[in-house]
Amino acid sequence: MSRMTLALLLATTSLPALAQDFPLTLTHKFGTTVIEAAPERVASLDYNGADNLLALGVQPVTVKYWFGDYPRAVWPWADALLEGTPEILNGDLNFEQIAAADPDVIIALYSGITAEDYAKLSEIAPVVAVPEGVGDYELGWVDQALIAGRAIGREAEAQAQVDAISARLASIAGAHPDWAGKTVTLGTVWADKPNVYAPGDPRVQLLNEMGLANNEALVALSTPGVFYIELSEEQPEPFDSDLLLWFADEGVPPIEAVAFRPTLAAVTGGREIFMGPLMTSALSHTSLLSLPYAFDVLEPLMADALDGDGIEAELRVTE
Protein backbone atom coordinates (compact mmCIF):
# COMPACT_ATOMS: atom_id res chain seq x y z
CA MET A 1 0.00 0.00 0.00
CA SER A 2 1.40 3.42 -0.95
CA ARG A 3 1.92 6.23 1.54
CA MET A 4 -0.75 8.23 -0.30
CA THR A 5 -3.32 5.45 0.09
CA LEU A 6 -2.52 5.05 3.78
CA ALA A 7 -2.84 8.79 4.32
CA LEU A 8 -6.26 8.78 2.66
CA LEU A 9 -7.45 5.95 4.86
CA LEU A 10 -6.20 7.58 8.05
CA ALA A 11 -7.79 10.89 7.08
CA THR A 12 -11.20 9.37 6.46
CA THR A 13 -11.25 6.99 9.41
CA SER A 14 -10.60 9.97 11.70
CA LEU A 15 -13.70 11.79 10.44
CA PRO A 16 -16.76 11.87 12.71
CA ALA A 17 -19.53 9.59 11.53
CA LEU A 18 -22.34 11.57 9.91
CA ALA A 19 -25.89 10.25 9.90
CA GLN A 20 -27.34 9.40 6.51
CA ASP A 21 -31.08 9.07 6.16
CA PHE A 22 -32.75 5.80 5.27
CA PRO A 23 -34.92 4.64 3.61
CA LEU A 24 -32.85 5.76 0.64
CA THR A 25 -34.21 5.98 -2.92
CA LEU A 26 -31.83 5.74 -5.86
CA THR A 27 -32.80 6.06 -9.53
CA HIS A 28 -30.85 4.34 -12.30
CA LYS A 29 -31.23 3.03 -15.83
CA PHE A 30 -33.41 0.11 -14.74
CA GLY A 31 -35.76 2.19 -12.59
CA THR A 32 -35.79 2.94 -8.87
CA THR A 33 -34.24 1.12 -5.92
CA VAL A 34 -35.24 1.65 -2.31
CA ILE A 35 -32.80 0.67 0.43
CA GLU A 36 -34.79 0.50 3.67
CA ALA A 37 -31.91 0.64 6.18
CA ALA A 38 -28.15 1.11 6.19
CA PRO A 39 -26.87 -2.21 4.81
CA GLU A 40 -24.47 -4.39 6.74
CA ARG A 41 -23.91 -7.13 4.15
CA VAL A 42 -22.87 -5.62 0.81
CA ALA A 43 -22.41 -7.66 -2.36
CA SER A 44 -20.28 -6.21 -5.15
CA LEU A 45 -20.74 -7.35 -8.75
CA ASP A 46 -18.36 -4.70 -10.06
CA TYR A 47 -15.03 -5.65 -11.58
CA ASN A 48 -13.45 -3.01 -9.36
CA GLY A 49 -16.08 -2.74 -6.67
CA ALA A 50 -14.35 -4.41 -3.73
CA ASP A 51 -11.80 -1.57 -3.64
CA ASN A 52 -14.24 1.22 -2.88
CA LEU A 53 -16.11 -0.80 -0.28
CA LEU A 54 -12.89 -1.67 1.51
CA ALA A 55 -11.74 1.95 1.34
CA LEU A 56 -14.97 2.90 3.11
CA GLY A 57 -14.54 0.29 5.81
CA VAL A 58 -17.01 -2.30 4.49
CA GLN A 59 -16.15 -5.97 3.98
CA PRO A 60 -17.86 -7.16 0.76
CA VAL A 61 -19.68 -10.49 0.95
CA THR A 62 -19.04 -11.07 -2.78
CA VAL A 63 -16.13 -9.98 -4.97
CA LYS A 64 -16.05 -10.11 -8.76
CA TYR A 65 -12.93 -11.70 -10.27
CA TRP A 66 -11.50 -9.59 -13.08
CA PHE A 67 -7.97 -10.72 -13.93
CA GLY A 68 -4.72 -11.58 -12.15
CA ASP A 69 -3.64 -14.51 -10.02
CA TYR A 70 -4.50 -13.18 -6.57
CA PRO A 71 -6.34 -15.87 -4.59
CA ARG A 72 -8.95 -13.54 -3.08
CA ALA A 73 -9.51 -11.64 -6.36
CA VAL A 74 -8.25 -8.32 -4.96
CA TRP A 75 -4.96 -6.62 -5.79
CA PRO A 76 -2.11 -5.55 -3.45
CA TRP A 77 -3.49 -2.08 -2.67
CA ALA A 78 -6.68 -3.71 -1.31
CA ASP A 79 -5.55 -7.06 0.00
CA ALA A 80 -4.40 -5.83 3.43
CA LEU A 81 -7.88 -4.45 4.12
CA LEU A 82 -9.79 -7.61 3.21
CA GLU A 83 -10.72 -9.86 6.11
CA GLY A 84 -11.27 -13.50 5.23
CA THR A 85 -12.36 -14.69 1.80
CA PRO A 86 -15.69 -13.51 0.39
CA GLU A 87 -17.66 -15.35 -2.27
CA ILE A 88 -15.70 -14.89 -5.50
CA LEU A 89 -17.84 -14.44 -8.61
CA ASN A 90 -16.12 -15.65 -11.76
CA GLY A 91 -17.61 -15.65 -15.24
CA ASP A 92 -21.38 -15.49 -15.74
CA LEU A 93 -23.39 -14.37 -12.73
CA ASN A 94 -24.22 -17.20 -10.37
CA PHE A 95 -27.46 -16.03 -8.78
CA GLU A 96 -27.54 -18.89 -6.30
CA GLN A 97 -24.04 -17.99 -5.12
CA ILE A 98 -25.02 -14.34 -4.70
CA ALA A 99 -28.19 -15.26 -2.82
CA ALA A 100 -26.23 -17.59 -0.54
CA ALA A 101 -24.08 -14.62 0.53
CA ASP A 102 -27.29 -13.10 1.99
CA PRO A 103 -26.63 -9.46 0.96
CA ASP A 104 -28.63 -6.48 2.19
CA VAL A 105 -27.74 -4.58 -0.99
CA ILE A 106 -26.06 -5.38 -4.32
CA ILE A 107 -23.75 -2.81 -5.94
CA ALA A 108 -23.55 -3.10 -9.73
CA LEU A 109 -22.04 0.13 -11.06
CA TYR A 110 -19.23 -1.33 -13.21
CA SER A 111 -20.64 -4.75 -13.95
CA GLY A 112 -22.46 -4.77 -17.28
CA ILE A 113 -25.63 -6.31 -15.84
CA THR A 114 -28.64 -6.52 -18.16
CA ALA A 115 -32.27 -5.72 -17.42
CA GLU A 116 -32.89 -9.46 -17.05
CA ASP A 117 -29.99 -9.74 -14.59
CA TYR A 118 -31.36 -6.76 -12.67
CA ALA A 119 -34.78 -8.37 -12.32
CA LYS A 120 -33.30 -11.61 -10.98
CA LEU A 121 -30.92 -9.82 -8.63
CA SER A 122 -33.74 -7.64 -7.29
CA GLU A 123 -35.39 -10.79 -5.97
CA ILE A 124 -32.30 -11.24 -3.77
CA ALA A 125 -31.71 -7.68 -2.52
CA PRO A 126 -32.00 -4.04 -3.64
CA VAL A 127 -29.69 -3.39 -6.62
CA VAL A 128 -27.73 -0.19 -7.28
CA ALA A 129 -27.04 0.24 -11.02
CA VAL A 130 -25.62 2.92 -13.30
CA PRO A 131 -27.61 6.12 -13.89
CA GLU A 132 -29.81 6.51 -16.95
CA GLY A 133 -27.84 7.43 -20.08
CA VAL A 134 -24.51 6.10 -18.80
CA GLY A 135 -22.81 3.17 -20.54
CA ASP A 136 -22.08 -0.01 -18.61
CA TYR A 137 -18.42 0.92 -18.15
CA GLU A 138 -18.56 4.71 -18.51
CA LEU A 139 -19.35 5.76 -14.95
CA GLY A 140 -16.45 7.90 -13.76
CA TRP A 141 -14.44 7.12 -10.66
CA VAL A 142 -16.05 9.96 -8.67
CA ASP A 143 -19.61 8.78 -9.28
CA GLN A 144 -18.65 5.16 -8.68
CA ALA A 145 -17.32 6.06 -5.25
CA LEU A 146 -20.07 8.50 -4.27
CA ILE A 147 -23.01 6.35 -5.40
CA ALA A 148 -21.57 3.31 -3.64
CA GLY A 149 -20.91 5.41 -0.56
CA ARG A 150 -24.46 6.77 -0.57
CA ALA A 151 -25.94 3.28 -0.95
CA ILE A 152 -24.10 1.93 2.09
CA GLY A 153 -24.61 4.99 4.29
CA ARG A 154 -21.03 6.28 4.03
CA GLU A 155 -21.30 9.12 1.55
CA ALA A 156 -19.39 11.57 3.75
CA GLU A 157 -16.40 9.22 3.94
CA ALA A 158 -16.58 8.67 0.17
CA GLN A 159 -16.67 12.42 -0.47
CA ALA A 160 -13.62 12.99 1.73
CA GLN A 161 -11.59 10.43 -0.18
CA VAL A 162 -12.80 11.72 -3.55
CA ASP A 163 -11.77 15.24 -2.52
CA ALA A 164 -8.29 14.04 -1.57
CA ILE A 165 -7.78 12.25 -4.89
CA SER A 166 -9.21 15.19 -6.85
CA ALA A 167 -6.72 17.45 -5.08
CA ARG A 168 -3.94 15.07 -6.11
CA LEU A 169 -5.06 15.23 -9.75
CA ALA A 170 -5.18 19.02 -9.62
CA SER A 171 -1.72 19.02 -8.08
CA ILE A 172 -0.37 16.86 -10.92
CA ALA A 173 -1.90 19.16 -13.55
CA GLY A 174 -0.59 22.24 -11.72
CA ALA A 175 2.90 20.82 -11.43
CA HIS A 176 3.04 20.18 -15.20
CA PRO A 177 1.50 23.18 -17.00
CA ASP A 178 3.38 22.13 -20.14
CA TRP A 179 1.05 19.12 -20.43
CA ALA A 180 -1.93 21.36 -21.21
CA GLY A 181 -3.07 20.83 -24.78
CA LYS A 182 -0.77 17.89 -25.43
CA THR A 183 -2.60 14.85 -26.72
CA VAL A 184 -2.67 11.37 -25.23
CA THR A 185 -3.78 7.96 -26.45
CA LEU A 186 -4.41 4.92 -24.26
CA GLY A 187 -4.17 1.73 -26.30
CA THR A 188 -3.64 -2.00 -26.16
CA VAL A 189 -3.41 -5.03 -28.42
CA TRP A 190 -6.13 -7.63 -28.05
CA ALA A 191 -6.28 -10.79 -30.19
CA ASP A 192 -3.53 -9.31 -32.40
CA LYS A 193 -5.65 -6.22 -33.10
CA PRO A 194 -4.72 -2.66 -32.00
CA ASN A 195 -7.37 -1.07 -29.77
CA VAL A 196 -7.78 2.42 -28.37
CA TYR A 197 -9.85 3.54 -25.41
CA ALA A 198 -12.49 6.17 -26.13
CA PRO A 199 -12.88 9.58 -24.43
CA GLY A 200 -15.82 8.20 -22.42
CA ASP A 201 -13.63 5.60 -20.71
CA PRO A 202 -12.94 6.50 -17.04
CA ARG A 203 -9.22 5.88 -17.48
CA VAL A 204 -8.98 8.32 -20.36
CA GLN A 205 -10.92 10.84 -18.32
CA LEU A 206 -8.30 10.58 -15.58
CA LEU A 207 -5.59 11.48 -18.09
CA ASN A 208 -7.71 14.45 -19.16
CA GLU A 209 -7.91 15.57 -15.52
CA MET A 210 -4.12 15.65 -15.49
CA GLY A 211 -4.27 18.27 -18.25
CA LEU A 212 -3.90 16.13 -21.37
CA ALA A 213 -6.19 16.40 -24.39
CA ASN A 214 -7.72 13.66 -26.52
CA ASN A 215 -6.49 12.82 -29.99
CA GLU A 216 -8.88 14.43 -32.50
CA ALA A 217 -8.82 11.38 -34.79
CA LEU A 218 -9.88 9.24 -31.85
CA VAL A 219 -12.65 11.64 -30.87
CA ALA A 220 -14.00 11.52 -34.43
CA LEU A 221 -14.28 7.71 -34.26
CA SER A 222 -15.92 7.61 -30.83
CA THR A 223 -19.61 7.01 -30.15
CA PRO A 224 -21.53 7.29 -26.87
CA GLY A 225 -21.54 4.14 -24.76
CA VAL A 226 -18.48 2.61 -26.47
CA PHE A 227 -15.39 2.60 -24.29
CA TYR A 228 -12.88 1.06 -26.69
CA ILE A 229 -12.45 0.85 -30.46
CA GLU A 230 -10.76 -1.91 -32.44
CA LEU A 231 -8.71 -0.52 -35.33
CA SER A 232 -6.89 -1.95 -38.30
CA GLU A 233 -3.21 -1.72 -39.20
CA GLU A 234 -4.25 0.97 -41.70
CA GLN A 235 -5.54 3.32 -38.96
CA PRO A 236 -2.54 4.73 -37.11
CA GLU A 237 -3.95 8.26 -36.67
CA PRO A 238 -5.73 7.71 -33.30
CA PHE A 239 -2.42 6.43 -31.89
CA ASP A 240 -0.37 9.35 -33.17
CA SER A 241 -0.45 11.51 -30.03
CA ASP A 242 2.12 13.43 -28.03
CA LEU A 243 2.00 10.72 -25.35
CA LEU A 244 1.21 7.06 -25.98
CA LEU A 245 0.27 4.75 -23.11
CA TRP A 246 -0.15 1.03 -23.63
CA PHE A 247 -1.86 -1.55 -21.45
CA ALA A 248 0.85 -4.21 -21.78
CA ASP A 249 -0.41 -6.73 -19.24
CA GLU A 250 0.02 -9.44 -21.89
CA GLY A 251 3.60 -8.31 -22.52
CA VAL A 252 5.41 -5.87 -24.80
CA PRO A 253 6.01 -8.11 -27.90
CA PRO A 254 2.39 -8.04 -29.21
CA ILE A 255 2.49 -4.23 -29.14
CA GLU A 256 5.91 -4.04 -30.78
CA ALA A 257 4.49 -6.21 -33.58
CA VAL A 258 1.94 -3.55 -34.61
CA ALA A 259 3.06 -2.57 -38.11
CA PHE A 260 2.47 1.18 -37.82
CA ARG A 261 4.02 1.60 -34.37
CA PRO A 262 7.55 2.56 -35.56
CA THR A 263 6.07 5.46 -37.56
CA LEU A 264 4.38 7.13 -34.59
CA ALA A 265 5.86 10.40 -33.32
CA ALA A 266 5.49 9.28 -29.69
CA VAL A 267 7.58 6.21 -30.45
CA THR A 268 10.34 7.99 -32.37
CA GLY A 269 10.37 10.76 -29.75
CA GLY A 270 10.54 8.43 -26.74
CA ARG A 271 7.12 9.45 -25.43
CA GLU A 272 5.73 5.95 -24.96
CA ILE A 273 4.94 4.03 -21.76
CA PHE A 274 4.17 0.33 -21.44
CA MET A 275 2.08 -0.48 -18.37
CA GLY A 276 2.56 -3.98 -17.01
CA PRO A 277 -0.11 -6.02 -15.17
CA LEU A 278 0.13 -4.16 -11.86
CA MET A 279 -0.12 -0.68 -13.37
CA THR A 280 -2.73 -1.76 -15.93
CA SER A 281 -4.86 -3.01 -13.08
CA ALA A 282 -4.26 0.02 -10.83
CA LEU A 283 -5.34 2.47 -13.51
CA SER A 284 -8.18 0.22 -14.69
CA HIS A 285 -9.70 -0.19 -11.25
CA THR A 286 -10.15 3.61 -10.98
CA SER A 287 -10.88 3.16 -7.29
CA LEU A 288 -10.29 5.03 -4.06
CA LEU A 289 -7.49 2.56 -3.28
CA SER A 290 -5.90 1.99 -6.68
CA LEU A 291 -5.69 5.55 -7.99
CA PRO A 292 -3.20 6.92 -5.44
CA TYR A 293 -1.05 3.87 -6.15
CA ALA A 294 -1.27 4.48 -9.90
CA PHE A 295 -0.44 8.18 -9.64
CA ASP A 296 2.67 7.49 -7.58
CA VAL A 297 4.07 5.36 -10.42
CA LEU A 298 2.62 7.08 -13.47
CA GLU A 299 3.29 10.76 -12.83
CA PRO A 300 7.12 10.58 -12.93
CA LEU A 301 7.01 8.30 -15.98
CA MET A 302 4.74 10.71 -17.82
CA ALA A 303 6.89 13.68 -16.85
CA ASP A 304 9.97 11.91 -18.14
CA ALA A 305 8.25 10.94 -21.40
CA LEU A 306 6.89 14.45 -21.99
CA ASP A 307 10.09 16.31 -21.20
CA GLY A 308 10.18 17.47 -24.82
CA ASP A 309 13.75 16.50 -25.70
CA GLY A 310 12.55 14.58 -28.77
CA ILE A 311 15.23 11.94 -28.26
CA GLU A 312 14.27 8.29 -28.59
CA ALA A 313 14.41 6.67 -25.18
CA GLU A 314 14.59 3.16 -23.91
CA LEU A 315 11.21 1.51 -23.39
CA ARG A 316 9.50 2.71 -20.23
CA VAL A 317 7.88 -0.36 -18.72
CA THR A 318 6.09 -0.54 -15.37
CA GLU A 319 5.34 -3.60 -13.28
Looking at this protein, which amino acid is placed at residue 250? E
Going by C-alpha positions, the residue among 207, 205, 311, 208 that lies closest to residue 268 is 311
Which pLDDT band holds residue 7 (cuts at 50, 70, 90)?
Answer: very low
Report pLDDT for 110. 94
User: Are 306 and 176 a contacting pair, CB within 8 Å?
Assistant: yes
- Model pLDDT for residues 170-203, shown as the tens digit of each residue: 999 999 999 999 999 999 999 899 999 999 898 9
User: Are 102 and 126 a contacting pair, CB within 8 Å?
Assistant: no
Residues 6+ apart with CB under 8 A from 295: 4, 168, 169, 172
The pLDDT > 70 percentage for the chain reads 92
Window from 13-22, 119-128, 187-196, 250-259 with minimum mean pLDDT: 13-22
> What is the pTM assigned to this prediction?
0.87
State how beta strands 105-107 and 87-89 pair: unpaired
Residues 6+ apart with CB under 8 A from 44: 50, 53, 60, 62, 63, 64, 106, 107
- Model pLDDT for residues 19-39, shown as the tens digit of each residue: 578 999 999 999 999 999 999
Which pLDDT band holds residue 145 (cuts at 50, 70, 90)?
Answer: very high
The pLDDT > 90 percentage for the chain reads 81
- Model pLDDT for residues 278-307, shown as the tens digit of each residue: 999 999 999 999 999 999 999 999 999 998
